[in-house]
Amino acid sequence: MLASGTGTVLGAIIERGPPVALVVTDRPCPALDVAAAAGIPAVEISRRDFGYRAGTDWDRRGFTLAVDAALGAARIDLVAMAGFFTILHPVIFERYRGRILNTHPALLPAFKGAHAVQDTLAAGVPVTGPTIHVATEVLDDERQILAQSPCVPVLPGDDEAALWERIKAEERRLYPQVLWDVVNGKIDLEV
Ligand code: GRF
């Protein structure tokens, strides 16, 4: 699992999804505590150690290769991103083509990018929900959507935090189920 944030989706997967062998984060974050509390090995590979500063060039490839090495050492064959806030260098998709999944808090192909929930609110659409998809080097790629849940109403008076929390509640239900379906062969990944 790759995570950067509060790790509530990660926690749901640990609780209800298939076994998680390793958690990798790109920064100090509560997701590390979620892994520790569950007794799952976790490693922080800080993108700052690869020169990351917002808005500047940095060694994205070196960072991605370090993530790749950690996954390889743990013999990971399926990677799930749950709120991982770094765009990985394409090099990782050479090894894990079709085997890196992601959850996005909008109905792809609508509202790609880091401000999906904010953009959903600004657009004034009545309903939203998460998308579980196969990640590629194309950001928020919609070509292989595994599950989508258009079941979260946008309510009058919603702000980004309130709407996002309701979307995350659905992600915490849907993502563990999708991962089980992949592991059990009910969903066939094109690799
Ligand atoms: C999720 O909404 C995911 O789609 C987005 O980041 C959020 C992760 O939430 N990319 P959490 O850190 O698991 O609470």
For 153-177, write each residue's pLDDT tens digit: 999 999 999 999 999 999 999 999 9
pLDDT at 55: 86
Kindly report the length of the chain: 191
Query: 77 Cβ partners below 8 Å, 6+ apart?
Result: 99
Average pLDDT, the chain: 97
Verify whether residue 133 is a known catalytic residue: no
pLDDT at 54: 87
For residue 4, how far is its CA from the centre of ligand 1 (angstroms)? 9
* Alpha-carbon span 104 to 88, nearest angstrom: 15
The phi, psi pair for 36, rounded to 5°, reads: -60, -45
pLDDT at 171: 98
**Closest Cα to atom 5, ligand 1: which residue?**
83
Atom of ligand 1 nearest to the CA of 164: 2
Residues in the ligand 1 pocket, defined by CB under 6 Å: 5-10, 82-83, 103-105, 167-168, 171
Atom of ligand 1 nearest to the CA of 10: 13
pTM summary value: 0.96
> Residues 89, 104, 115, 133: which is the catalytic one?
104
For 112-137, write each residue's pLDDT tens digit: 999 999 999 999 999 999 999 999 99
> In the structure, what pLDDT confidence band is assigned to residue 109 with cuts at 50, 70 and 90?
very high
Q: 128 near 119, Cβ under 8 Å?
A: no
For residue 117, how far is its CA from the centre of ligand 1 (angstroms)? 11
Atom of ligand 1 nearest to the CA of 6: 12
> What are the strands, taking DSSP E only, across 13-118?
23-25, 42-44, 79-81, 100-104
pLDDT at 134: 98
